[in-house]
Amino acid sequence: MRNQNTFNLTLIAIFTAIIFLQAFVPNLGYIVIVPTLPAITTIVLTVSIGGSLLGPCQGAILGLIWGLISLYMAYTRATDPITLLLFQNPVIAVVPRALVGVLSGLVAQALKKRQIPKIRFKP
């Protein structure tokens, strides 16, 4: 049990570091195509993978970290008016991002419970 908790904590730390890198390295997590429109984000993929590997509770933690970073970015490095208007609200910035991790964890758990027949290839 203790080894599993250490393993989960290590994976959360690794995914958190990846989220920080994606958030603060230009054009890695937030890709700006048109300067007046909001940036396209790839951080959702990291949170979804983390939530599906670790479960809904840890996925919520990763989503919460992403939401807090998004809130910080909206106050310090907002580049467009939509970010200024929408993402400075903590409810809009944090809650949907936390739900991304929860829902990806729940979907992964539901798919693990389903019996999917394996495809076998004959050589």
- What is the rounded (10 degree) CA torsion for 56, 110, 103, 49? 70
Handedness of CA 75, 80, 86, 87 (dihedral sign): negative
Please report the pLDDT score of residue 2 as a whole number.
74
Please report the pLDDT score of residue 46 as a whole number.
95
Please report the pLDDT score of residue 95 as a whole number.
94
pTM of the model: 0.87
Q: How far is it, in rounded angstroms, from Cα 55 to Cα 61?
A: 10
Please report the pLDDT score of residue 12 as a whole number.
95
Residues of the chain with pLDDT under 50: none
Please report the pLDDT score of residue 32 as a whole number.
85
Please report the pLDDT score of residue 34 as a whole number.
84
